[in-house]
Amino acid sequence: MARKKIALIGAGNIGGTLAHLAAQKELGDVVLFDIVEGVPQGKALDLSQCGPVEGFDASVIGTNDYADIAGADVVIVTAGVARKPGMSRDDLLGINLKVMKSVGEGIKQYAPDAFVICITNPLDAMVWALREFSGLPHSKVVGMAGVLDSARFSTFLAWEFGVSVRDVSSFVLGGHGDTMVPVVEYSTVKGIPVPDLIKMGKSTQERIDAIVKRTANGGGEIVALLGTGSAYYAPATSAIAMAQSYLGDQKRVLPCAAYLEGQYGVDGLYVGVPVVIGKDGVEQVIEIALDEKAKAGLQVSIDAVKELLVACKAIDGSL
Ligand code: TXD
């Protein structure tokens, strides 16, 4: 059977890490694309030379030509620029929107049957724009944020309770970052909900509230420590889990930025919700009952996404 093909658009920190993980896990042959000449080729050569040591046969090539992504099964998009000092949120939006336009057109032309995972920020708006520009079905274009946010939440909960991260399952909804909504009632240690663990004296409401806050600021905490750039190991591994669920038809339940058509009272927006990812892409959106606090939190997220889409449409009249 021919190997699958994984195209990575953007060969920066996350793109390079994605290429390494995809090759190591033999998800398929890897094509690393960037507009900067030399960087994807250099990283691909370096990564190819991991093969003999790590024992993978996947090929890794670097390119500046979209034609090389032809027929990709999965496309993961990290292309764009990060916000720099002096740059407004709208400046960033304008730049990355243009990037999504070129990436979307490249995917439309060369990989229209791919499952597309967008990582570029501001995530909830960029995934929407990428879908618009690519014209792919909504079920085949998703945003990665929730897997990362819930991984951060689970890490902190495991530390708090002194248990294995494997026994922690945490639940987040909504946008990426500030507007994320961690749902504590659905977060568990081996099935025991966090509120019950508080009742059992394993933690306190105050400590859990602090963890929720730390999770929402999880990206910012790393940016501040690094001084330059943002997190890339956990963002990359999160997107790989989504790609694996698609390629292996695993039907994992993963929180992703997915297109809603009425679910959670939202129509026509990408919002972070639990979905089932299998061979058809997003196969189900799981709609859970929310209490008033979570509903209000989700509404804040939804309003923030709506605002971003208005700004996108003002910048690009074709949207
Ligand atoms: O949870 C999440 N979704 C995120 C999102 C978590 C962490 C970081 N998140 C965002 O991912 C971050 O704000 C950025 O928007 C992306 C990528 O982060 P990364 O750390 O990989 O950024 P880099 O290292 O700056 O890489 C971006 C690459 C760089 O090599 C550019 O040359 C390239 O994108 N680039 C392009 N590639 C293709 N096409 C175009 N037009 C283009 N423009 C820039």
pLDDT in tens, 230-266: 999 999 999 999 999 999 999 999 999 999 999 999 9
Q: How far is the CA of 114 from the centre of ligand 1 (A)?
A: 20
Q: Give yes or no for residue 94 having a pLDDT over 80.
A: yes
Residue 14 Cβ < 6 Å to ligand 1: yes
Q: Give burial (CB, 10 Å; 0-12/13-18/19+) of 318.
A: exposed
The model's pLDDT over 9-55, given as tens digits with 9 standing for 90+, comes to 999 999 999 999 999 999 999 999 999 999 999 999 999 999 999 99
pTM for the whole structure? 0.97
First to last CA, the chain: 40
Residue 89 phi/psi, 5° resolution? -65, -35
Q: Is 69 annotated as a binding residue?
A: no
Q: Between 304 and 245, where is the model more confident?
A: 245
Residue 176 appears among annotated catalytic residues = yes
Annotated binding-site residue? 152: yes
Ligand 1 atom closest to 149 (CA)? 1
Would the CB of 148 count as within 6 Å of ligand 1?
Answer: yes
Mean pLDDT of 70-95: 88
Compute the distance from residue 24 Cα to the ligand 1 centre, in Å.
21
Catalytic position from the list 56, 62, 176, 273:
176
Query: What is the H or E stretch that residue 32 is in?
Result: strand 29-33
Residue corresponding to tokens 């390494």: 20
